[in-house]
Amino acid sequence: MTLRVGIVGAGAAGVGAAYALRNADAEVTIVEKSRGVCGRAATRRKHDCYYDHGANYIKESDQRTESLIRDLGTDGVVDIEKPVWVFDESGEITEGDDGDSHKWTWTEGITQLAKRLLARTDAEVRRETRVESIVCDDSEATWSLIDTEGETHGPFDRLLLTPPAPQTAEILRATEWDGERLGDATAAVSDVSYRTIRTFVLHYPFREEYSWYGLVNVDKAHEVGWVSREECKDGHVPDGESLLIAQMSPEWSAERYDDPLAEAGDDAAALVAELLDDDRYADPDWVDDQGWRYALPNDGVDTDAVRATEDAGLFFAGDWVVGEGRVHHALWNGHEAAERIVGRAE
């Protein structure tokens, strides 16, 4: 019998699960609140520039990540050669220790990860559909999704929830099902806290050469958390131009999250100029931004609590399950959840 699988969220965990199910006897439906796919591993195009303004690249974790990237096709793959250096509260920049580790994206941006994974599946993606609650039919052992328009999606034999923990908890709180197990899972998911990040994209009509691709604040005491150079990625920035991705610290981001772009962008650019010791960076010729209220999980979830619902067909996946905000963690956590989904059906 074909297994009907519903997945909430087309981020790295959701598409990783769909990819893992590609050879199973499964009918997969992904319900995604946004127009795009890959969640915080997002890409925009503006003024002939491609830029990854959320997750900047896919970091090598083990051999399976490298094998997957190669299997998805080497055309357009970018392995960023320059290293990531570090800086401290005072703004002193020193060499980092990432060595020869891989940092992958694509000439058309990091969203190619999800697009290429999904292209190898038969999964249906229902975009711009925000899930509000879930319903369990115990008599049929099936699950359905209710969106904010009141439409029903399903029924599904297995359901996988992959949104950030606070959004997953909100869905669970609006759901009526087995009191103890649902309550334990909801409490565990609700306990996962996040760091907020506001990203600024700063463009300049000039280009400087540096020995680094990115700078990361290691003592977490600077107002800037991360700066990287999109021109280090083939195909992202026209010759002679520069595009900086500036991700501000969680404290700065939370305080300035709703400030107008003109004001907050000027302040962010001034901080970047100070860090790079070059006043020209205080005056970008265009600016873009994106706020990620639930950018990075601070810790992982109580695994026992969220695994307790799996025998009833309800699964969870995401970087918040692992406890570290990395694309490869979300991807493989979703992949592993899908393997358990298939295992439960056998």
**Mean pLDDT of the region 232-257:** 98
Taking the C-alpha atoms of residue 304 and residue 66, their distance in angstroms, rounded to an integer, is 30
Q: Mark whether 162 and 25 lie in a shared domain.
A: yes
3-class SS at 281? helix
Tell whether the model's pLDDT for residue 61 goes beyond 80: no
Report if residue 277 sits inside a domain. yes
What digits encode the pLDDT tens for the residues 1-30? Answer: 899 999 999 999 999 999 999 999 999 999
pLDDT higher for 139 or 33? 33
What digits encode the pLDDT tens for the residues 103-140? Answer: 999 999 999 999 999 999 999 999 999 999 999 988 88
Give the pLDDT of residue 181: 84
Give the pLDDT of residue 49: 98
Q: Mark whether 161 and 204 lie in a shared domain.
A: no
Q: Mark whether 77 and 180 lie in a shared domain.
A: no
Q: Mark whether 208 and 249 lie in a shared domain.
A: yes
Give the pLDDT of residue 63: 87
Give the CATH number of the domain where residue 248 resides.
Answer: 3.90.660.10
**What pLDDT band is residue 346 in, cutting at 50, 70 and 90?**
low
DSSP string, 17-68: HHHHTTTSSEEEEEE-SSSSSSTTS-EEEETTEEEE-SS--EEP-SHHHHHH
Report if residue 52 sits inside a domain. no
Q: Mark whether 89 and 226 lie in a shared domain.
A: yes
Q: Mark whether 277 and 248 lie in a shared domain.
A: yes
**Mean pLDDT of the region 283-288:** 98
Q: Mark whether 270 and 228 lie in a shared domain.
A: yes
Report if residue 47 sits inside a domain. no
Residue that finishes a domain, picked among 279, 297, 315: 297
Taking the C-alpha atoms of residue 186 and residue 189, their distance in angstroms, rounded to an integer, is 5
Report if residue 21 sits inside a domain. yes
Nearest-CA neighbor of 9 among 116, 130, 186, 115?
Answer: 130
Give the pLDDT of residue 345: 63
Give the pLDDT of residue 156: 97
Taking the C-alpha atoms of residue 172 and residue 189, their distance in angstroms, rounded to an integer, is 9
Tell whether the model's pLDDT for residue 308 goes beyond 70: yes
Range of the structural domain that residue 9 is part of: 3-39+115-192+299-345
Q: Mark whether 34 and 128 lie in a shared domain.
A: yes
User: What is the pLDDT of the chain when averaged over all its residues?
Assistant: 95
Q: Mark whether 292 and 169 lie in a shared domain.
A: no
Report if residue 211 sits inside a domain. yes
Q: How many domains does the chain have?
A: 2
**What pLDDT band is residue 283 in, cutting at 50, 70 and 90?**
very high
Report if residue 49 sits inside a domain. no
Tokens at 150, concatenated: 């009141």
**Mean pLDDT of the region 153-174:** 97
**Mean pLDDT of the region 185-193:** 96
Contact 28, 214 (CB under 8 A): no
Q: Mark whether 245 and 203 lie in a shared domain.
A: yes
Give the CATH number of the domain where residue 119 resides.
Answer: 3.50.50.60
Q: Mark whether 141 and 274 lie in a shared domain.
A: no
Taking the C-alpha atoms of residue 24 and residue 135, their distance in angstroms, rounded to an integer, is 25
Tell whether the model's pLDDT for residue 233 goes beyond 80: yes
Tell whether the model's pLDDT for residue 99 goes beyond 80: no
Tell whether the model's pLDDT for residue 159 goes beyond 90: yes
CB atoms within 10 A of CB 76: 15
What digits encode the pLDDT tens for the residues 201-228? Answer: 999 999 999 999 999 999 999 999 999 9
Tell whether the model's pLDDT for residue 179 goes beyond 90: no
Give the pLDDT of residue 95: 94
> Which pTM was predicted?
0.95
Q: Mark whether 334 and 201 lie in a shared domain.
A: no
Tell whether the model's pLDDT for residue 288 goes beyond 80: yes
Taking the C-alpha atoms of residue 297 and residue 268, their distance in angstroms, rounded to an integer, is 23
Report if residue 186 sits inside a domain. yes
Report if residue 44 sits inside a domain. no
